[in-house]
């Protein structure tokens, strides 16, 4: 250590030309000459050390980013279809509607376009030998349910494969609508089904309430029926008739599908289609289902009936993963109730104003 200090002092005393070394070679000394010489001896410059550390950190982050990409991924999980024969179970859970999302705005629950696309994949896959509709739903929109109905019919027509409906805790209204064309309907013994009918929701008129509080409203519209359904004005007899006609047409469509799918007389279908909910046993007595059983029993029945023993069963269920919402979701404060009666009323009105004509059992809907 003393020799090194002596050498450094010698360099500092003669800052331009060094003394000859053992080989007789002299060195020119610049301002950072000692740093360069020290570097030769294995001494690292502080800046160089910092750059090395920074580069190492970046490299580690890149490696972690690649290896953990599946954890950071936001999007739906792809359903992998086998290369051998299989039965597909498509899940219909929650309200059958477009745009279902969680509190972060991420897709959640039943996803309409994705489900139609997955059934199209099954139609085009020769390895698929059967389709089970796993239904746990209170129903949904007229439009979405009818699109599903036609897609299931298309599957049957193009593949000639069997379609079973396995009803879980509920398969009401639209949930039954999409089951109607199935080759066999099997409901869990605790399932609530039926609710065959149509609703446009409850039209609320708060004009009297506003008047009592000295609030006046004026609705500007191009015709007397343009703003019908507004809760600021009473519903006229003519408007009620218009709404009822919409409901009746959708009802005729629903009962016609049930009559065709269940090979029942239309008058019989209308007799039992007053919107009531049926237990599994009652639905069986009325000819709305074929058997009472579990999902596993439905699979066994299909395999035995169509000689599909040995077929793998693939779950076709929408799963969305969002790294951010998974990490922070628990931090979102949950609304445990309305802050006031007024807030509750406004929330009800907002929901009611958006209610479309639907095949939905309101009692079972969330």
86, HSE (Cβ side, Cα atoms, 13 Å)? 17
| CA–CA separation, 281 and 296 (whole Å) | 19
Q: Is 311 exposed, middle or buried (0-12, 13-18, 19+ CB in 10 A)?
A: buried
Nearest residue to 255 (alpha-carbon basis) of 196, 194, 174:
196
Active-site residue, 226 included: yes
Locate 48 and state its tokens: 């160089």
Q: Which is the catalytic residue, given 8, 39, 43, 226?
A: 226
Euclidean distance between CA atoms 237 and 21, whole angstroms: 113
DSSP state of 152: H
Any residues with CB less than 8 A from the CB of 277 and at least 6 apart, and which? 172, 192, 193, 194, 195, 361, 363, 364
Side-chain half-sphere CA neighbours of 269 within 13 A: 22
CA distance 131 to 163: 5
Q: How far apart are the C-alpha atoms of 56 and 62, rounded to whole Å? A: 10
Q: At what angle do helices 112-123 and 142-159 cross, to 10 degrees?
A: 10
Q: Which of 166, 173, 230, 358 is flagged as catalytic? A: 173
Distance (Å, whole) CA 236 – CA 221? 15
Q: List Cβ neighbours of 36 (8 Å cut-off, separation of 6 or more).
A: 30
> Whole-angstrom Cα distance, residue 66 to residue 21?
52
- Residue owning tokens 């074929």: 290
C-alpha atoms less than 13 angstroms from C-alpha of 8 in its C-beta half-sphere: 11
Reply yes or no on whether 158 is catalytic.
Answer: no
Residues 219, 225, 230, 231, Cα dihedral to 10°:
100
Q: Which sequence positions are flagged as catalytic?
A: 173, 226
């Amino acid at each position: 250590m003393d020799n090194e200090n002596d050498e450094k002092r010698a360099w500092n005393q003669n800052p331009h030309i060094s003394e000859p070394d053992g080989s007789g070679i002299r060195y020119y000394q610049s301002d950072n000459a000692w740093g360069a010489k020290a570097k030769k001896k294995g001494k690292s410059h502080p800046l160089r050390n910092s750059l090395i550390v920074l580069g190492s950190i970046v490299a580690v982050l890149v490696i972690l980013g690649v290896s953990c990409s599946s954890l950071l991924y936001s999007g739906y999980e792809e359903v992998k279809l086998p290369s051998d024969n299989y039965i597909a179970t498509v899940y219909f859970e929650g309200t059958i509607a477009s745009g279902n999302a969680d509190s972060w705005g991420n897709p959640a629950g039943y996803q309409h376009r994705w489900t139609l696309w997955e059934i199209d994949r099954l139609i085009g896959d020769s390895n698929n030998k059967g389709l089970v509709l796993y239904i746990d739903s209170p129903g949904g929109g007229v439009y979405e349910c009818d699109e599903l109905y036609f897609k299931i019919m298309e599957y049957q027509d193009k593949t000639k494969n069997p379609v079973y409906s396995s009803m879980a805790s509920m398969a009401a209204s639209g949930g039954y609508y999409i089951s109607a064309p199935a080759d066999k309907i099997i409901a869990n013994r605790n399932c609530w089904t039926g609710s065959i009918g149509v609703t446009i929701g409850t039209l609320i008129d708060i004009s009297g309430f506003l008047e009592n509080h000295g609030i006046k409203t004026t609705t500007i519209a191009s015709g007397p029926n343009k703003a019908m359904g507004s809760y600021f004005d009473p519903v006229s007899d003519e408007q009620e008739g218009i709404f009822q006609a919409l409901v009746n047409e959708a009802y005729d469509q629903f009962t016609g599908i049930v009559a065709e799918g269940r090979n029942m007389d239309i008058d019989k279908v209308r007799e039992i289609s007053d919107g009531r909910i049926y237990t599994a046993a009652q639905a069986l007595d009325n000819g709305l289902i074929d058997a009472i059983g579990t999902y596993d029993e439905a699979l066994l029945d299909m395999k035995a009936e169509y000689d599909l023993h040995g077929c793998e069963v693939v779950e076709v269920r929408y799963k969305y993963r969002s790294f951010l919402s998974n990490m922070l979701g628990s931090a979102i404060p949950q609304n445990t109730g309305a802050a006031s009666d007024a807030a509750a009323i406004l929330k009800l009105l907002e929901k009611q104003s958006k209610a479309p004509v639907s095949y939905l059992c309101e009692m079972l809907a969330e």
